[in-house]
């Protein structure tokens, strides 16, 4: 059997007399609550309490339900095992969490503790995975996202009457867990280009474009399996839009580098470097970048199209063109 002691009139203040105070129970020596008081005759009515300190208890008779360790988490009510209402185990009793301040970092810690990916972890509120039962254990979680377990985060007991099970929180996690140094391209119009993001601590972050050039782009494209990185183009200043928080800056690679994680890096905050990777090895190698009337002659063949990259101020875009043979045909 699981049980949970709750203080401060968790289920509301009682009325009338307060009979007992200062209980001192031992599970080995006592089988009834009244045995926990040395002299029941002397104890009755002898207290310095008010009803705002009334004691409460939650009991669980479901052995499967109560076979858990303090701080254990589980998800209930979701369509898959990757989502659901968050329930926490305390003293063999499962309870829910109220919605106040529940957000992305809290969800990320839940997913991490459950062994799921933190990437794109989503916080869900207002009982969207169904209303739980039993006690609402916690409220006001304030996680940084770096904690290993949810109860390492700041949290509070909810005040009586401030929460209901209609406000139970949940999460959506991802099964995929990335490894440190994994990279991906995001928000590009094609699979072979986009904002470069790198994985650390099971989450993807952006890379500042300080020191990021054609050699670094080639290494990244090589790591992604594109044509040994030949013809890769680095594009600065958040060309494909701003991404997640910056995790890496001042990337410096040599042509001998096999993996972008081998580059020397220094954390900072700035914009993210996009890049273009040539996607088909059997096509002509893109010509060297050449400025022509505010257009960069990239001549990348992807999915049947040749493309040129605009470098004009305020006109960052990729322009598809027909079959071309010289960089001058990139000019508008």
- Reported as a single tens digit per residue, the pLDDT across 298-307 is 444 444 445 5
Whole-structure pTM value: 0.45
* DSSP helix/strand/coil, 145: coil
Mention the CATH class of domain 2-60: alpha beta
Q: Residue 313: its pLDDT value, please?
A: 39
| Phi, psi angles (nearest 5°) of residue 231 | 80, 10
Per residue in 152-173, pLDDT tens?
999 998 877 788 999 999 999 9
Which CATH fold topology does 183-330 show?
Mac-2 Binding Protein (3.10.250)
Residue ranges of E strands in 91-192? 93-97, 117-124, 136-142, 154-156, 170-174, 183-186
Which CATH fold topology does 63-174 show?
Mac-2 Binding Protein (3.10.250)
Q: pLDDT: is 35 or 258 the higher one?
A: 35
**How far is Cα 264 from Cα 190, in angstroms, rounded to an integer?**
29
Select from 81, 85, 173, 156 the least CA-distant residue to 126.
85
Domain 183-330 in the same topology as domain 63-174:
yes
Domain residue ranges in the chain: 2-60, 63-174, 183-330
Q: Residue 317: its pLDDT value, please?
A: 45
**How far is Cα 54 from Cα 325, in angstroms, rounded to an integer?**
84
> H-helix or E-strand containing 66?
helix 63-66
């Amino acid at each position: 059997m699981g049980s949970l002691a709750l203080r401060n009139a968790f289920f509301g203040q009682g009325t009338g007399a307060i009979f007992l105070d200062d209980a001192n129970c031992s599970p080995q020596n006592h089988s009834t609550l009244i045995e926990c008081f040395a002299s029941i005759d002397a104890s009755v009515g002898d207290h310095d309490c008010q009803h705002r300190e009334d004691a409460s208890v939650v009991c669980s008779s479901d052995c499967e339900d109560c076979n858990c360790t303090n701080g254990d988490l589980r998800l209930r009510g979701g369509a898959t095992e990757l989502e659901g209402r968050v329930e926490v185990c305390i003293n063999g009793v499962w309870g829910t969490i109220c919605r106040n301040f529940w957000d992305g970092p809290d969800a990320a810690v839940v997913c991490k503790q459950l062994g799921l990916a933190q990437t794109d972890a989503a916080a869900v509120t207002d009982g969207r995975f169904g209303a739980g039962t039993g006690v609402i254990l916690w409220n006001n979680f304030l996680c940084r996202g770096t904690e290993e377990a949810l109860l390492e985060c700041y949290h509070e007991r909810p005040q009586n009457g401030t929460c209901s099970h209609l406000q139970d929180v949940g999460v959506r996690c991802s099964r995929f867990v990335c490894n440190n140094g994994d990279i991906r391209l995001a928000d590009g119009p094609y699979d072979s280009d986009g904002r470069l993001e790198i994985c650390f601590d099971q989450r993807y972050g952006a890379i500042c474009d300080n020191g990021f050039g054609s050699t670094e782009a080639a290494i990244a494209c090589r790591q992604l399996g594109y044509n040994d990185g030949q013809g890769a183009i680095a594009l600065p200043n958040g060309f494909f839009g701003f991404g997640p928080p910056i995790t890496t800056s001042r990337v410096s690679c040599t042509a001998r580098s096999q993996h972008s994680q081998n580059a020397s890096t220094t954390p900072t905050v700035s914009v993210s470097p996009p890049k273009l990777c040539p996607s088909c090895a059997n096509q002509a190698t893109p010509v060297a970048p050449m400025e022509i009337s505010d257009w960069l002659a990239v001549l990348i063949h992807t999915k049947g199209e040749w493309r040129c990259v605009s470098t004009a101020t305020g006109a960052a875009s990729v322009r598809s063109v027909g079959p071309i043979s010289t960089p001058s045909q990139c000019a508008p």
